[in-house]
Amino acid sequence: MSNRRTVGLKRRPRVNDGKLHYVNNLAKHPESGVYLYRFSYKGQIRTGSTGCYRLEEARDYLAVLKSRLALEGIGIKKRRIRTFRQVYESWVKEIAPLRTKNYVRGMKSNITLHVLPLIGGFDVAKIDRSTIISVINSYLESGKARSSANTILTNLTTLLIYAAEEGRDWIPRVPKVPKLEIQKVARPIVTEEDLDAFLSAVDSLNVLDFSFMVRAQIYMGLRIDEAITMEWKGVRLNERVYIPSKTKNKDAPTMPIPDKMVPWFEKMAEKYGTFGYISPGRGKGKPHQGYYTNYWLSKLVAALEMSKKFTSHRLRATFANLLKQQNVPITTIQKLMRHSKVETTMIYIETREQEMRDAVNQL
């Protein structure tokens, strides 16, 4: 039998660049997953990022890049981007396929409806701070919310950053315009005075798993995904601690179990045993899905005529505010909520009108 080697053809050797191994001028970054390029052109080594996460797209990007260099080599230069509309169209072709559908849909809607009609024909290199402010002011004058105006500002800035990136240099720099200040509106929580009535309403649904998860969020400050995926292997009832196997920050803190939670752990153990997930879902060896608590919470919110903005995340916020009402130091609340910065904890704290009234009455 003849061997399968082809005479006269040699495989291109891999180029070793530290941790990166280039094959056909492309290498995938081990951390970001973006494909990088490296090739020789007219005696110079050119390197950079394709901005692509898929090999086929990276190959296309590299082919276009080499073609552009070849055309420039014979005096044919690429089309000059002059207007803001051209920047937007270029972003849609190059970057939009790498973003989520919802993100692109929102970007296209905001830019085409509220930005292009005003500055689409502007020379992008001459767009300055006053130009951006005029767009935002026009948006606000139409009766739109300040929070939505900040979204427009973010989308517009994203396109200008794209235009200023090295290799394009369509604009010298990105004008800096700060976001609009938005008055903080009090978000719904369960106050200390209403807590007993709220938990009674929870228990009236006669769903043990839901009652347990609600208390795990209110009394232990767990996130909803942490409450759903609680496992018996992390429970130490005799020590009154719980060590989660899965957290947002991928750490494994030792969390105190309050005395009020002990009877509920015992109820769950009596129903399901003390192996695997504390609240197992329908699938064998799997927890409940995220929509499980949302389903029962929506029923509860409707029955109590509470704000529709009261989501499962507001149970964790309730935990923070109940501790604050007990005059627990904010740094202690920060540790219990497992925040790296106290500023993050402060976002959860709601200052009620009665608390402000009580404070000034102490003067």
10 domain residue, yes or no: no
**Residue 37 sits in the same domain as residue 158:** no
58 domain residue, yes or no: yes
**Residue 90 sits in the same domain as residue 235:** no
Cβ count near 335 (within 10 Å):
12
How many domains in the chain? 3
**Residue 219 sits in the same domain as residue 347:** yes
**Residue 327 sits in the same domain as residue 213:** yes
171 domain residue, yes or no: no
**Residue 207 sits in the same domain as residue 339:** yes
Host domain of residue 33: 15-73
190 domain residue, yes or no: no
pLDDT per residue, tens digit, the chain (363 aa), is 444 443 344 444 444 445 688 889 999 888 777 888 899 888 888 888 877 777 877 887 788 778 777 766 655 455 566 789 889 999 999 899 888 888 899 999 999 999 999 998 888 888 999 999 999 999 999 888 888 999 999 999 999 999 888 777 788 889 999 988 876 667 888 988 999 999 999 999 999 999 999 999 999 999 888 899 899 999 999 999 998 876 555 566 788 999 999 999 999 999 999 989 999 987 677 888 878 888 899 989 988 888 888 888 899 999 999 999 888 999 999 999 988 888 888 888 876 655 555 655 665
**Residue 137 sits in the same domain as residue 62:** no
pTM: 0.54
CB 350 within 8 A of CB 321: yes
**Residue 93 sits in the same domain as residue 55:** no
Task: List Cα–Cα distances, 144 to 111, 135, 138, 152, 308, in angstroms.
Answer: 15, 12, 10, 11, 22
Angle at 286 between CA 281 and CA 289, to 5 degrees: 55
CATH number at residue 351: 1.10.443.10
**Residue 138 sits in the same domain as residue 270:** no
Domain end, chosen from 113, 143, 164, is at 164
**Residue 118 sits in the same domain as residue 46:** no
Distance CA 321, CA 346 (A): 10
**Residue 239 sits in the same domain as residue 355:** yes
Cβ count near 219 (within 10 Å):
20
60 domain residue, yes or no: yes
**Residue 123 sits in the same domain as residue 54:** no
180 domain residue, yes or no: no
**Residue 289 sits in the same domain as residue 356:** yes
